[in-house]
Structure 1
Amino acid sequence: MTTSLHTANDTAAIQKRALSVLFCTQILGGLAVGIGIAVGALLIEDMTGSSAYAGLGQSLFVGGSALVVIPAIRITERFGRRGGLAFGYGCAVIGSATVITAIYLDLAALAVSGYFLLGAASFSGLQSRYAAADLSPVEKRGTHLSIVVWAATIGSVAGPSIAALAERAWKGWTGGPDYVGSFVAMGLLCLITAVILPALLRPDPLLLARELSGETKAPKRSIADGFRMARANATVRTGVIAAALGHFVMVGVMAMTAIHVRHGMDDPESALTAVGVILGLHIGGMYALSPIIGRLADRYGPRPVLIAGTAILVAACTVAGSSAVDNHVQISIGLVLLGIGWSAMTVSAALMVTGAVTPAERPSTQGFSDLAMGLAAMGAGLASGPIVEYLSYGMLNVFCAVVALAVLPLLLGKIASPDAAEEAA
Structure 2
Amino acid sequence: MAVDRRTFAAAGFSTLVCGYALVQQGRTAPARRPVVAGYVAPWKARPGGPGIKMIRARELTHLMYAFGTVSADGLAELADRCLDAGACDGTAPSSPFGGNFIQLAELKRDNPQLRVLISLGGWNGSRYFSAAAVTPRSRARFAQSVIDAFFRPYPGLFDGVDVDWEFPVSGGRAGNVARPEDRGNFTLLIAEVRRKLAAFSALERREMELTIAVSAAPDKIVNLEAAALAGLVDRIHLMAYDFHAGSAFAAFNAPLFACAGDPYPDLNVDASVNALIRVGVPPAKLTLGMAFFGRAVANVPPQNGGLFQKGATASEEWGGSDGIDYRDLVARRPEKHGFRRFWSDEAQVPWLYNAERRIWISYDDPLSIARKAMYARAHALAGVMIWDLFADDGSLLAALRVPPARRSE
Where is the strand percentage greater, Structure 1 or Structure 2? Answer: 2
Q: Which has the higher contact order (CA 8 A, sep 6+)?
A: 1
If the length of structure 1 is used for normalisation, what is the TM-score? 0.27
- Which structure: greater helix fraction? 1
TM-score, normalised on structure 2?
Answer: 0.28
